[in-house]
Structure 1
């Protein structure tokens, strides 16, 4: 992700402290409640004793989780889970071992002592280990992403994709950088159905924007709005013919409960020119998006914690025709279509023009066009699962897999 080390350090500190404190407090509550069923009434001394017992363990949990955050363990849920299990096991073991061997009455360090300490993972320390292991990849990762800036504080775990059925005059859609080819409308409808089905099968709720049967490019719904957490920015398309597409999208976004902002004339901005990578928003300055549109977007999203970076686009219709990003923040693109690859912190070239576009379905799964088999193989070799869809008829109109939906997460 395009995130400063300062933010990562702060996020690591905050998450390590909060998770360790919550686990520590949970132990006190658990032992206090457990004592209610005994003959000995719970007292303040019990709270102090439990707190003292887990104090060193919580310190070690804090240290281990801080290190995990710094090295990027919170970037994916499964690495956060591994970090949580490691911290949940090591912190109680080390904390109990140090407590047992310290002081004048401490036990001598021996294999027997080590065995006894590990045995506490099935006794006194079991609940603590489970608390850390569960909290880290769930609440801890959620909090980390908020503080670091890779997730809006308004973001939920919902996954909604807005889609729009192709217009009957789809073949009349605008093209700028390629030669016009005949479009098979019947095949396009089948491909659109398969695209929507792929999103649904991946766990996304698909919501149809009201059809616009006379607007040829309306199927490319992504161009009409950009979503930032609970805020939707309604675009002002650079092509006059497409401006009638935005009211339908706005109505669908309002129905999802999002707050609406908009780009106003003389600014123009197409959603296909906006690539979000963590808290960085790359915006293509090209034929459809102008400088004033970028300026307005910067003013709208800066209060939300995003940084807008303008990128020249002269070789493709939109920025996301040339580049998109993998779940880990690596920007991928077809170099002949990219004006300046040095703009991006991490850039990976793909071998085919249609292989530039990915829709992130989850932390380990992306959607790509089947017309770019070499690029698919490259992404799969990076450890991602790739869902392939055939969108050949939309590619004849400079469309790609990102253009056909607006993702709300």
Structure 2
């Protein structure tokens, strides 16, 4: 599921119109002040900018559809480009209407206006686009998305990258990954979520980010707050940008883990209002401190847990709906540390995704664990994710659940 075109069109038009109108008014005001508040300036300058403003609306609308207003630096660049084109086209049209030919002398005159009237317009448009324009666009997208997600269970997912087989490894030996099979398994994972009442929404595809399919590492969801993480490895940090955009589109409040902190979502296990956070090779002490500061006002407590035998905490243990913690003794540093700990017979059985109060999703690689959970009264949905398990992945890594 992606943002609908209707919502994009409305948000883009509102953004373009707002930026163009504010720029038009601000530019007129600047010249009104510089001309010592002469009333005639208002009409003259407004007429001069009329066509430039119309062209700005069209250009900014097109840029907004491309998503440039999500980030300040692309917004300011789009504002500058739109300003230059709109001013040149607008001034040229005004010149032609006035009966002048577009000869070399006229073109030279038009370029000269960028040192005065049009130059001011371009600068103002660039600033307004990066500030007011960006705010209008993101709030419009978020407002509409927030309305459409009420009462729904949404799973954020991300399509496997073309270079999936190059994903990073820490605790397992590299083996050949069948990327075509991985794509089919990912489709099966998506189908399992949707068949059990979840709406899937794709985070933007990242062709060259090998580990991007493990989208759980980019976000930690605490109610209506999305904590954007900071990966423990430099090469994975760019993955968070698209995930943050999607979380913002859903109307979630954004918090961020900042340098020098590192924290990956796979290290955060939520059990009620307790957050078990793995102190692993990917999550450092500063990241845990920052998460604690964010989580405390939201009613969550943070418990740091050493993780030395696996990549993330949630590749060593997860929780059932009743709070029972599943783990394998070979992977958990100290099982006695955890209340209600249940040892499972297979390493692949430590990870479950809670689909409902009585239903869990897990890997088909752990049939004995599936039987154990069924004996405890749970409905178990299994999926084949063998190719992702070769990359230290599990069923939790492949989605971020928004309830």
The TM-score bracket by the shorter chain reads 0.5 to 0.7
Q: Which residue of 2 aligns with 1:103?
A: none
- Superposition map of 1:185-224 within 5 A: 185-224=179-218
Q: Which residue of 1 aligns with 2:154?
A: 160
Matched, 1:171 2:165: yes
Query: Which residues of structure 1 form unaligned runs of 5+?
Result: 1-154
- Superposition map of 1:203-352 within 5 A: 203-352=197-346
Deviation at 1:287, TM superposition (A): 0.3
CA deviation map 1:109-130 (0-9, x unaligned): xxxxxxxxxxxxxxxxxxxxxx
CA distance in 1, matches of 2:379, 2:246: 30
CA deviation map 1:82-138 (0-9, x unaligned): xxxxxxxxxxxxxxxxxxxxxxxxxxxxxxxxxxxxxxxxxxxxxxxxxxxxxxxxx
- Superposition map of 1:4-403 within 5 A: 157-403=151-397
CA distance in 1, matches of 2:394, 2:383: 10
CA distance in 2, matches of 1:302, 1:364: 29
Deviation at 1:211, TM superposition (A): 0.3
Q: Please, what is the CA RMSD of the aligned residues?
A: 1.0
TM-score when scaled to structure 1? 0.62
SS of 1:337's partner is coil
CA distance in 2, matches of 1:314, 1:211: 31
Deviation at 1:343, TM superposition (A): 2.3
CA deviation map 1:319-341 (0-9, x unaligned): 00000000001000011000011
CA distance in 1, matches of 2:329, 2:205: 35
Q: How many pairs does the alignment contain? A: 255
Deviation at 1:156, TM superposition (A): 6.5
CA distance in 2, matches of 1:325, 1:157: 23
SS of 2:230's partner is coil
Q: 4+ runs of 1 displaced by more than 4 Å?
A: none
TM-score when scaled to structure 2? 0.63
